[in-house]
Amino acid sequence: MAIQYAEFLSASNILREVMKEIKHNTPSEELSKKSLNNRILKKCYKLTLERYSDFKKQELIKDYITNILLPIYRINYIGIIKKTHESYYQNTFVKC
Q: Residue 12: exposed, middle, or buried by beta-carbon count in 10 A (0-12, 13-18, 19+)?
A: middle
Nearest to 39 by CA among 81, 70, 82, 84: 70
- Cα 6 from chain centroid? 19
One-letter amino acid identity for 75?
I
Task: Kindly report, residue by residue over 46-77, the tens digit of the pLDDT.
Answer: 999 999 999 999 999 999 998 888 888 766 66
Please list the alpha-helical segments (H only) found in 1-96.
Answer: 2-25, 34-51, 55-64, 70-92
pTM for this model (two decimals): 0.67
Domain ranges for the chain, please list them.
2-23+32-92
Task: Kindly report, residue by residue over 78-91, the tens digit of the pLDDT.
Answer: 665 555 555 544 54
Q: Who's near 50: CB < 8 A, 6+ residues apart?
A: none
- Tell me how many degrees the CA angle 72-65-25 measures, rounded to the nearest 5: 75
